[in-house]
Amino acid sequence: MAYTSETKALSTPLLLLMAVAISATVANLYYNQPLLPAIGESFGVGDGAIGLIPSASQLGYAFAILLISPLGDTMVRRSLISYLSFVLTLALLAVCLAPNFAVLIIASFAIGLGANITQQLIPLGAALSTKQTRGKTMGTLMTGLTIGILLSRTISGSIAEYFGWRSVFFVAAVLAAIFGVMLRKSLPAHQPKLSLSYIALIGSMFSLLKKHRLLRASAFTGALWFAAFNAMWATLAIHVVDAPFFFNIQQAGMFGLVGLAGIFGAKLSGRLVDSVGPERLIAVALFLIASSFTVLAFWGDSLIGLIVGIILLDLGVFGAQIPNQVRFFSIDPDAQSRMNAVYMLGYYIAAATGSAAGVKVMSIWGWSGVTAFGFVLSAVAIAYHLFFAAKITSGEKLSRLK
């Protein structure tokens, strides 16, 4: 059945539950980043190989966006979220108990699949909101997403320092099970209106990508900055546990608190996007990202330099995300879920590639190589946005006026 105006209201307690669940779920993709040195030592693998761990979870998330996210348009999301919660809980337990590196990689990939819960709850929040409350709802849910990404490293580093890296995933498994039960009991059984075969549903995503140049531009630009972002975060722990810092795992994870500056960037861009325009906000954010890698390159061996660089990076990345989504969401309101899936697919493929490439670059050229890699990606994003994406946006606006 379709929602009526009465059944469509989203209560504050349910909204907060969804936001916290999103935060706890997306954190599972990033718990492993400050733990990489400890995990590598546990399994006897080098820096190049341990980059496969965050890459596997990000690739699993990307596969889920492609193959699972579109199902939210054709089946009851409450049931789909229950299945994903079960997968996520088992995958986290598998990482906790992994007897060898191969099992760890497979389980990490499965964590990415189960974490698709986030990409079901966000469009569900939009569907349950009225036109007047949709902006506030999306802001709350995206704040939960941002907090989960940024605090995950601090939480995992702190737990691992006292109880070992495996305990992080045991705690995460317990949380996944608890939220799975709570969401099952609290979410409405919303029956979507769309009726398509699975093959047609997946195929329609590629049709949207082929049809809309603005969607392609948004996806490409976002992929570049998120690859750079993940390259830095995947290698930060490796950098700070060595000279000149010699930090422990907990101290490495504390840098996640510095990254909370991203929440300010997201909120500010959300308030300014209508008045300033997406293109200008994205341009400013990209320059912040490029500046962050400049700071990290020249002053990354000092604590102050790292803190300033991380603040600039997170301000830029999370400040760019909202205007980038706003501009492609405006293309076709009836295809927002699939457009978001297309965008996020590129986003997390880039995250997986950036994580693996960053760790590999770190093993060969060190921290200076990572910062150069991130700067090049952000510079390409700036050039593309300024000389191509802005023109594409203007062309799409002109065609709609005609």
Quick check: 361 pLDDT over 60?
yes
Percentage of the chain modeled with pLDDT above 90: 51
- Domains in the chain and their CATH numbers? 7-193 (1.20.1250.20), 212-402 (1.20.1250.20)
Confidence label for 3 from pLDDT (cuts 50, 70 and 90): very low
For 158-209, give the DSSP string.
HHHHHH-HHHHHHHHHHHHHHHHHHHHHHS-----S----HHHHHHHHHHHH
> Cα dihedral sign for 54, 60, 65, 68?
negative
Q: What is the pLDDT of residue 307?
A: 95
Instruction: Please state, in angstroms and rounded to a whole number, the distance separating the CA atoms of residues 385 and 374.
Output: 17
Instruction: Please state, in angstroms and rounded to a whole number, the distance separating the CA atoms of residues 368 and 260.
Output: 24
> Contact, 80 vs 71, CB < 8 A?
yes
Instruction: Please state, in angstroms and rounded to a whole number, the distance separating the CA atoms of residues 322 and 104.
Output: 33
Instruction: Please state, in angstroms and rounded to a whole number, the distance separating the CA atoms of residues 294 and 292.
Output: 5
Residue 284 phi/psi, 5-degree rounding, is -60, -45
| Reported pTM | 0.76
Judged on CB neighbours under 10 Å (0-12, 13-18, 19+), 205 is buried
| pLDDT tens-digit series, residues 105-115 | 999 999 999 99
Q: What is the pLDDT of residue 8?
A: 47
Can you say how many angstroms the Cα of residue 236 is from the centroid of all Cα atoms in its chain?
18
